[in-house]
Amino acid sequence: MFDNGIEKRTHRLPEDKLPSDERPFDDAPFDDVPFDEWEPRARLPRGVIPEDLGDTPPDAELAARLESVDRSRLNGFELVEVLRARWRLISHLYAELYADMEELAHTTPGHVGSDPERSARPDEFCVDEVAAALVLTPRSADFHMALAFQLADLPVVAEALRTGEIDVARARILCQNTSHLEPAEAISIVTSLIDEAAHLTTGQLARRLRRRILDQDPDTAKDRFESALEKRHLDAYPNPDGTGDLLARHLPPDRIAAIMSRLDEQARRISKDDDRTLDQIRADLFLDLLEGRTRVDNGRGGHVELRIDLETLMGLNDRAATIPGWGPVIADIARGIADAPHSQWRVVVTQNGDPVATTVTRRRPGAALRRLVEAQSRTCVFPGCSKPATRSHLDHVLAHALGGLTIDRNLAPGCAHHHLRSKHRAGWRLQRPSPGVYHWTSPRGHEYVVRPPPD
């Protein structure tokens, strides 16, 4: 739903035009036709596929062998083998096509009989030649030339495409999602993923790649994120069919996920008494909200899940967390994600990949959580205060607005005065370095430690 990855505008195809791995299962062909009622074609003599077709390198020999195949005489198993072989051949041809483009960019102006001279610097106007020769729009020619140069800079990707190990879609993911990196870093990351790429869908590969980039250098990834966030803007485009697209670019992923969850939850509620599809309702809600025709429903918001490593949550490392359906997000976003204004977040804390705790973020703790915190701290935790915890507020140690989770490790009893006046107005700062231990810093810089009372 959220996987863009490519810095360009795309249009969603109608479901009947989608690739098979993106089309809903209930729209698949033949679903309404029982297997035993299919009308068979006339039976033809069995053909055979060339021997060792799957092991033949994708070159002129494979092309010739595929040309000799009569697909009408092959069974389903054999046709799958033909599909795979032809797919490898197409990938090989794409690699050669992009290599042709990159080589063309280094040729010098001349005529039909010119010597094959080369320039060290590519000709920036070569894209016009490609557009004219292949009858492409300038934008399309730019896109293909950019990929040609990216493949030249990532020879491991170009070679995998040339040998048919990956297809052009996966090559594009590897190239475009690393184009912002330093060359050595990009080569290192794609090399570490190239063997997996053939066994992952493009969406899986893009998510795996983004996570690898975020984890390799978290500080640089954070800087890139903050720099990109400064470029946030809106774009509007007309479509040939008379409609238009409204695109918000370079937005924080946690807010996108929360907004989509909120719209989805409201659309599903409305759809019970509505003839519109969920997609149509979501789009109409989006427009109505922007135009001020309706207000955000104050009812229960949708849940968005966040999966975060325990050590990342504790600030001991900066591994990327994951929002399922979106992919990896930088650690700082994950740690501060609890303050989604209209959606609750279901936080799954993991250790070595296995879930060890779950919680739902919300500002107000439930009754069971309140009882647990009151049992852990019997009084207000301000130095010297003896107000019973049962008659105190439950205060977030790390403020909820700053991402503090509503869990026992981040809650402390505070009487009305010390919670609302001392901490929130006078500026006392509270930390909880270990269970039952509270570290206060006064507005004048003095430090006070409150420890559990003796039994």
> Could you tell me if residue 5 is inside a domain?
no
Residue 246 has pLDDT above 90, yes or no: yes
Q: Locate 2 and state its tokens.
A: 């959220």
Point out the domain boundary residue: 216, 231, 254: 216
More confident residue, 40 or 278: 278
Give the mean model confidence (pLDDT) for residues 38-54: 66
Highest mean pLDDT among 43-47, 230-234, 353-357, 394-398: 230-234
Highest mean pLDDT among 155-159, 310-314, 411-415: 155-159
Over residues 330-355, the pLDDT tens digits come to 888 888 774 444 456 778 888 887 77
pLDDT value at 428 more than 50? yes
pLDDT in tens, 87-97: 999 999 999 99
Q: Does residue 198 share a domain with residue 66?
A: yes
Residue 139 included in any domain = yes
Residue at 232 is within a domain: no
Contact indicator for 257, 245 with CB cutoff of 8 Å: no
> In terms of domains, do 333 and 400 share one?
no
pLDDT of residue 297: 60
> Burial code of 4-19, b = ≥16 C-beta within 10 A, e = fewer?
ebeeeeeeeeeeeeee
**391 lies in the same domain as 442:** yes
Residues ≥6 apart with Cβ < 8 Å to 74: 47, 49, 82
Cα–Cα distance, 240 to 222 (Å, whole number): 38
Q: Domain range spanning residue 439? A: 367-450
Strand partners, 247: 235
Residue 190 contacts residue 174 (beta carbons within 8 Å):
yes
Do residues 380 and 352 both lie within one domain? no
Last residue of a domain, one of 361, 391, 426: 361
Residues 183 and 198 in one domain: yes
Which pLDDT does position 178 carry in this prediction? 94
- Based on the fold, state whether residues 63 and 165 are members of the same structural domain: yes
pLDDT-based confidence at residue 452 (cuts at 50, 70, 90): confident
**One domain, residues 349 and 388:** no
Residue 39's pLDDT band, with cuts at 50, 70 and 90, is low
Domain termination site, one of 361, 379, 399 = 361
- Statement to judge: residues 53 and 101 lie in one domain: yes
Q: In this predicted structure, what is the pLDDT of residue 5?
A: 37
| pTM > 0.85 | no
Are residues 129 and 84 part of one domain? Answer: yes
- Across-strand partners of 437? 434
| Mean local confidence (pLDDT), 375-380 | 80
In a domain, 20, yes or no: no
pLDDT tier for residue 26 given thresholds of 50, 70 and 90: very low
Both 60 and 167 in one domain: the answer is yes
402 shares its domain with 438: yes
Return the number of other C-beta atoms located less than 10 Å from residue 320's C-beta: 22
- Phi then psi for residue 251, to 5 deg, are -100, 160
Please report whether residue 231 resides in a domain.
Answer: no
- Report residue 25's pLDDT band, with 50, 70 and 90 as the boundaries: very low
Residues 209 and 70 in one domain: yes
Q: Which tokens go with 436?
A: 């039952």
Contact (CB, 8 A) for 286 and 296: no
Q: Is residue 7 part of a domain?
A: no
pLDDT of residue 18: 41
Q: How far apart are CA 394 and CA 46, in angstroms?
A: 77
CA-derived radius of gyration, the chain: 29
Query: CA 350, CA 357: separation in Å to the nearest integer?
Result: 7
**Residue 298 included in any domain:** yes
Q: What are phi and psi of 201, to 5 degrees?
A: -70, 165
Candidate ranges 47-56, 235-244, 345-354, 363-372; pick with highest mean pLDDT: 235-244
Whether residue 100 has pLDDT greater than 50: yes
Query: Among residues 346, 144, 132, 184, which one has the least CA distance to residue 257?
Result: 346
Residue 34 located in a structural domain: no
- Number of domains forming the structure of the chain: 3
The CA distances from residue 314 to 233, 335, 359, in Å, are 33, 9, 15
